[in-house]
Structures are given as C-alpha cells and as structure tokens.
Amino acid sequence: MFQVLLPAVLALLAQRPAASPAEGHPPASPALLLLTSMGEQDARLAGWGPAGPVLDGMATPADWLEIRFPGAPAVPAVPAAAAPAAWEVELAHGVCLPGTPIGGDERHAFWRLPSGLELRFDSLWLRRLGAGGLRRPAPADQDLLWLRGPEGGVDRRSGWMVGWRDTGLDFEDQSGAHVHPWGRVLALQLVQEEVPEWDGGVWIVLQQGGHLLARVESLESGQLRLAVPWGDAWTVPLAQVAALRRRGAPLEALAERAPLRSRGPDGPVLDWSPRLGRSVEGRALRVAGMEFATGFGTHAPAEVVVAVPGPGRFAARVGVDDETLAFRSRAVVRFRVLWGDEELAQAQAAAGQAPQFLRAEVPGAGELRLLCEPLEEVAAGAHGDWLDPVFVPASLVQASG
C-alpha cells in the first residue's frame, strides 16, 4: 500500500507552489555599507523613517552620512570618457542624469534613464544638456544651442528655448522659432531661472549613473517613493539605487557651494582649475566605479579652501578619478587636510583603487585647506577627487558617541 501511495504523494508535493515569505521566513533586509563620520561598517536596512534609514538590529547613528548598497559596478576596464552616455542633463542644485530625451512640452521635459526608468522634470530646473557629456559652461546672457552642422562643423546659436518636443528641441533665434531634430543637437545651455531652495532630503545615486535630490516618502516592497524638488512624485526600485547620501542641517555639505578660493596647475591650453561637482575634465565624479553626487575634481597640484563654522569633524572620501584609467601612466596622489599650516589628516590614492575615507578633527571656526599633491615628477593623470566632503558639528559628533 505504501509503495502505491508514495508516488502520488510526491507528485502532489511537486505541484505545490513554494512558500511565500509571508508563509515562511520574512525576506532578508538589504545589506548595505553604512558610513558615519568615523568610517564604514556593515549594516542592514529595515525601512525608512522621518530621521532617515531604519537599521536592522541596531540604532541608526546620529552622525550617519551615507548608505551604499552592494551591486555597484566594478572598476571599469576603460574610463567613463571612452563610453559616454548618449546624453547627459544637468538640473538646478547639481542634479545630473545620463539618459535620453523622449519628449515634453513648453513646461516639462521627459527623460529616459539608462535603466529604462522615466522621469519628468520642470523645464525651469534645466541648466545644461549635452550629447555624450556636458560642455564647460560658457558666459552668456541668452540661451545657447550648439548644433551639428551639415558638413560636420558646429553651428552655435543664441536665443531662447521654447520647448522640449518628441522630435527635437524648439529654439527661437534671430531667424525665428525652429524645432531642431535631436540628432543635430550637440549641447544646450540655459540662462538660469530662480528655483526654490531644497533643504534636507538625500542625494539618490543611481546604479547606472546619475544622481538627484529627493525626500524619501516611504520604502515599501523594495520601492522607494520619492518627492523630487520640482513638485513631482517618483518611484524607483531600491535595486536601482547605489547610495543614499544624507544632506542638510545639522551637517554642512562643503561641496554644494563654491569654495572660498581654489587653484590648480597652469596650462597653456587646458583649464585645470578645480571643478565643483564634476571631475577636472567635466565628467561625473567617479572612483573605482562608484559615482558621487558632490565633491571637488582637481588636477594635482591643487588647493581648495573651504570655511567651517566651528569645532567638529571633517569627513570625505578621496580618490583618483576613473577618467584616468586609460592613461598610459597612472599617477599616485596625496590628499592633505590643513588647518592653517597644521596637517590634520592625509591619505594616498592611485587610479583604480577604492576611495579612501579621510577624517580630521577641526579645532574651531576658520578655513580648511584641501591639498592634492602629485607623488611623482610627472603629474599626468593626477586627477584627485574630494568626494562628498562634509563638516559634522561637535554637538553631533558627541551625540553619536
């Protein structure tokens, strides 16, 4: 009898669907790397609350700076410059996104990210657009449009953007308004319109490149529901997120505003002055395949001077930008944090190495000098990045223990 029933029982078990997480064990919390002003540690994300991430089995440190998820791309074999995104758009407050324009109207533009996600943004927030990357800003009192000429040259026009269309860019110049096909558009730069300030929230860094400001409304079923600065709601799968970076009081982001002063090496042709929020060659800040929303891109020897309001802790990651990975020689650079002439901290880095975490105890209000120095006689490829530098006030340092 047993031999007769056993095959039937096994057949029924094979047809039974696998137990869902609700029927068995709950789904595992996403693993992450938690960054505080003291350094990195492993953690797991249980949810999101009014004060930020809710961690599994531990209290969220008062001085948390960032959570970064596994799955970020490995160090690329070639620099990002060798395989640029089809397009890149820059919005107000340092938002930058790779992707493709897919239409719009006089007020809104629609953008498709490399992941396939789509985002709508208000045209008032638009700052620059580029095919294959962003051009260095040019002084102008009107909007500027660069078009591909009929014989391969560049046709630069001044005027005003009228709208963003499915078929191209509607632009009015001295000859009138015309819709220029996207295939001819090389770059666009707009006169900056005033937009509301955006305090607090987080930087969302996406796995396939790009970063934007947002407030996290909820985290449910692996979906981040966000409020974006131009008044829209947007939902992004957590699997598409590389990092969430804290911003706003009581922290002070040191690279969301221009430094007090800066200097880079003199060049007869190229401008090697430090760049705010971009590599020294004007690309997204990227070290060892990891993208960062804020920072200073420099070419050693370079100095960036920032103000701090009082005693506390300086924290940043540092590294050599991935745009140098294809260089024949890979430079090694030293990063130093100085208070006057007193060195508070230093670290060394080379191209291809993971970003180094650097922290320094700041004794009081004043100026911090951020130096990037070449350690070799020939400084080719010495593209040193200060990544997400932040000042943590002493009160928050003490609260974190």
Task: Retrieve residue 385's tokens.
Answer: 């990045």
| Length of the chain as a residue count | 401
Confidence tier at 269 by pLDDT (50, 70, 90):
low
* Domain residue spans of the chain: 2-68, 252-399
Assigned fold of 252-399: Jelly Rolls (2.60.120)
More confident residue, 78 or 31: 31
pTM (2 d.p.): 0.87
- Write the DSSP string, 106-169: SSEEEEE-TTS-EEEEEGGGEEEEEETSPPPP---SSEEEEEE-TTS-EEEEEEEEEEE-SSEE
Give mean pLDDT, residues 125-152. 90
Q: Residue 30: pLDDT above 90?
A: no
Show the tokens assigned to 28: 């595992």
d(CA 119, CA 98): 12
Residue 89 is predicted with a pLDDT of 96
27 has a pLDDT exceeding 70: no
CB 264 within 8 A of CB 272: yes
pLDDT digits (tens, 9 = 90+) for 358-385: 999 999 999 999 999 999 876 678 999 9
Q: Is pLDDT above 80 for 57?
A: yes
How far is it, in rounded angstroms, from Cα 345 to Cα 329? 27
Question: Judging by beta carbons within 10 Å of its beta carbon (0-12, 13-18, 19+), is residue 18 exposed, middle or buried?
Answer: exposed
